[in-house]
Structure 1
Amino acid sequence: MSGHSKFANIKHKKEKNDAAKGKIFTKIGKELAVAVKEGGSTDPTNNSRLRDVIAKAKANNMPNDTIERNINRGNMDSSNYEHITYEGYGPNGTAIIVETLTDNKNRTASNVKNAFTKGSGNVGTPGCVSFMFDQKGQIVIDKEAYETDSDELMMLSLDAGAEDFLEEEDSYEILTTPEDFSRVRLNLEENKIPMVHAEITMIPQTYVSLTADDDIKNINKTLELLEEDDDVQNVYHNWEE
């Protein structure tokens, strides 16, 4: 589940059971294969999209041999995947964006609609909620894994082209424009900065609080169903959990 820092969410992702981790690996594996097909190269030096997905895979602790296997699969996989984005509303007007990668758009559309319906929400028209989000490159660094001075990290990030540097209780968050994300991430990698999260994401401009038990239950139902769907790659929302 993607969203604005809140490093506890990142830690939660890392601490999921093996079955959930396997599902995350499957989704990233699909991204790796598609990045090879769309970028036309298995060499990340010549394929910036592949380079970014590899960074995402490493941030999620995907083994190197698994990364390599999925990259090689990109040359052989004959599936014709489509990127399709859905937008809609959850309880109390919460905004939800669902990015999918599918070889069967009818199946995916049905599953996404079902997830919204079961959470008492509804799928809207393209653009109905995306204006409430900003697309940003987002890099999160665990303070426990990085013990050097925070000012040094901030200057390194800003000098590389980052837009903003935020310090949370247990993490640092670096934000970039989508265009500058690869350069900033590569600069941090070259300086051996450990990253627990590194990808282009959608960050809400404002957040919605839910207080009613039914609303919280319903949005959790929608998010759980979407996360379980193999066609769903990323889900963004403006619910302040």
Structure 2
Amino acid sequence: MSIPGQEAADALVRRIGVSIDPDLLVLALTHRSFAYEAGGLPTNERLEFLGDSVLGIVVTDHLYHAHPDLPEGELAKMRAACVSQKSLAAIARQISLGPCVLLGKGETSTGGHNKDSILCDAFEAILGAVYLTHGIETSREVVLRLVGPSLAAAAKSGAALDWKTSLQERCAELGLPAPVYDVTGEGPDHARVFTARAMVDGQARGEGTGTAKKHAEQEAAAAAYASLETVDSQVDGVVA
């Protein structure tokens, strides 16, 4: 089976840096919306599942050996930052993956080629295809080359690795209850926008928006964390 836009797909493979079995490449690029409109073709979801696991073990192994003095909690934050939907979608854009993804008419008309969720899933599916074509060692090389900048940035990001966890830790330091999130959504399912408010001790401390609840919550947590940075940590449970 050939891919619409075969030249773009061939260029994508060159940017990935290793060959990929042609049938697996097509499968990795086949979004469920395209598969449905084409009469029930297989989708990239199984490859995405496999690629997610390949990505996880490679990143975890790298962090474990690269940071022997860090506790489990910090390693988990770094891993979460590197394999987040936002981070993987950014990598997908860097290798121009979006234009190669096979989408149905509805997803195409609503900008699906640039949606974080679709890009992230397709990137993980590509990693699954690389693994099935070459095995774990070549997959490791591809992951570390493409995700490497995110791994390096994560080592320097501190609280920004996981704003929700950092906010919870900050609240504990101040003797405040754990934050809760008030999330609302607007718009149709294919273009829904969520707004989150981070509530600390009954008070709204930060607000954020995003195309996924977790992204809106992270943005709200970042704003709330900044607001609490000015609070005297010696004040027992009192927000200034």
Higher strand share: 1
Relative to the length of structure 1, the TM-score reads: 0.23
Relative to the length of structure 2, the TM-score reads: 0.23
Higher helix share: 2
Pick the structure with greater CA Rg: 2
Considering Cα pairs closer than 8 Å and 6+ residues apart, tell me whether 1 or 2 has the greater RCO. 1
